Structure 1
Amino acid sequence: MTRTVSGARVLITGAAVGMGRLYAERAVAEGAEAVILWDRDPAALAATAAILNERADGRTRVSPYVVDIGDLGAIAQAAQRVRTEVGDPDIVVNNAGIVRDAFFWDHDNGDDTRRTMQINALAPMYITREFLPAMIGGVGRESRIVNIAATDGMRSSPRMSVYAASKAAMIEWSESLRRELVQEGHGQVKVTTVCPANTTAGLFEGALARSLTPALTPEHVVDQVWRAMLAGRPLLLMPWTVAVSSALRTLAAPFRR
């Protein structure tokens, strides 16, 4: 893949606001053939699509879809519409996610625990499964799958237990998928697993006060993710100190009681 997404079809979940919108803006700026926006908020989605269409000035097709990715049926229906109306994406950015800052026993099994696991862990699997066959079949055409996890999936996180569990599942699935593709000779499909620490985005607003890691700006995260995605980099940890602390925790594990 070149150093831009020029001519590619890019699908982004959680695309109406925050970093999802920033990814979409980047794709439009680089001349993507189509930018496919998935979000469950119709008003925010329409507003973002209007702004992107103005910036694209006809050079990029902007296709918004109202989708609740917590619903497997909705994912399947939206994916079929995308294939029919736009075409299979070359790049899928599994960006959408939810988090609740609370002790585990304060989580509701349905609205909190189940939905967090559905959106953060299962939905990226369902979405990727919808479009992966075309990526595998596209011999000679490079494709990208970008899975936005979190450093909370690599460590214990008090008051973030369900979120941490969902991101841990995403990390292991993402890396396993990458290795499967390599093993079976589908090297044209690159999987990038992204593990940022807390950002200044609204999703983490309640958790920042307890974090010992400096918050990352959404703009910085998006820029680094974009570079890693284009390069086909397997894993992106942000900031770099996360890798050091992870290694230290591994070394200290035998001495814990």
Structure 2
Amino acid sequence: MAAAEARVAIVTGAARGIGSAVAQRLAKDGLAVAVVDLDEKSCESTVTAITSGGGRAIAVGADVSDEVAVQQAVERIVAELGSPTVLVNNAGILRDNLLFKMTVSDWDAVMSVHLRGAFLMTKAVQKHMVDAGFGRVVNLSSTSALGNRGQANYSAAKAGMQGFTKTLAIELGKFGVTANAIAPGFIATEMTAATAARVGMDFDEFKKLAAKEIPVGRVGVPDDIAHTASFLVSEGAGFVSGQVIYVAGGPKD
């Protein structure tokens, strides 16, 4: 794909971790990438990694749960990079706690970023995909969608992402748009490090214990998710839609 014909991708929550790895991988695949996160300055390292390798990227600060901010962000991306036809809804937060300790604000914050954010971003971008007759939506779910102690809010949000994905696939398929979800297992990121800290464990020990329960014998890394996203947004994945792919080092129910 020539530079002038490069597709434009938006990756949310792309300042670090999984989002940053996905953004960098898509740039290597030849896409221009809008690196979106709450704080625009925090996106600079991801953008620099892309541009120093010859890719094209911009940093965009936006609260994905804010309708006006999302609309303004997409308008800016269109103006600076072109019409986006690839969207990776990765932005997410944790507010873990047991149900009896979980506050309403803990619940609402997680739902707002994960579900409302994915809804607003997809609604704002889908018209560009429909107009182009080509689109790829990749939503980040989690193995926690199957249930996880201390994550009633996160688990519900990630299960919701799966239903949202399948509905998008049904509604948008006739326009050349696919929608799929990636459900990571244990991925070594700042987020899982925070979980280790919350339960009072050394992160290396936390990872070792997790690896013992994973069939492939190791925890995941952000690039494991990036490789999967790369396939799902490719031309060759045009007949894959409405699927939830568990990238967890083994089978999940």
Equivalent of 1:132 in 126, 133, 145: 126
TM-score, scaled relative to structure 1: 0.81
Deviation (angstroms), 1:240? 6.3
Equivalent of 1:38 in 36, 39, 56: 36
Give 1:114's aligned residue.
108
User: 1:54-81: CA deviations, max 9, x gaps?
Assistant: 222xxx4311111121322211221222
Q: Secondary structure at 1:11's aligned position in 2?
A: strand
Equivalent of 1:173 in 141, 164, 172: 164
1:40 and 1:167 mapped to 2: Cα distance? 20
Q: CA RMSD for the aligned pairs?
A: 2.2
Provide closer, same or farther for how the CA distance between residues 42 and 119 of structure 1 changes in structure 2, counting only shifts above 3 A: same
1:30 and 1:226 mapped to 2: Cα distance? 8
1:216 aligns with 2:216: no
| Residue pairs, 1:78-89, within 5 angstroms | 78-89=73-84
Q: Look up the equivalent residue of 1:156 and give its one-letter code.
A: G
1:42 and 1:82 mapped to 2: Cα distance? 13
Provide closer, same or farther for how the CA distance between residues 216 and 129 of structure 1 changes in structure 2, counting only shifts above 3 A: same
The answer for unaligned runs of 5 or more in structure 2 is 197-202
Moved over 6 A (4+): none
Provide closer, same or farther for how the CA distance between residues 55 and 221 of structure 1 changes in structure 2, counting only shifts above 3 A: same
Provide closer, same or farther for how the CA distance between residues 88 and 54 of structure 1 changes in structure 2, counting only shifts above 3 A: same
Please tell me whether the aligned partners of residues 148 and 193 of structure 1 are also in contact (alpha carbons under 8 angstroms). yes
Q: Calculate percent identity across the aligned residue pairs.
A: 24
Please tell me whether the aligned partners of residues 12 and 24 of structure 1 are also in contact (alpha carbons under 8 angstroms). yes
2:232 and 2:248 mapped to 1: Cα distance? 14
Q: Look up the equivalent residue of 1:54 and give its one-letter code.
A: S
The answer for unaligned runs of 5 or more in structure 1 is 247-257
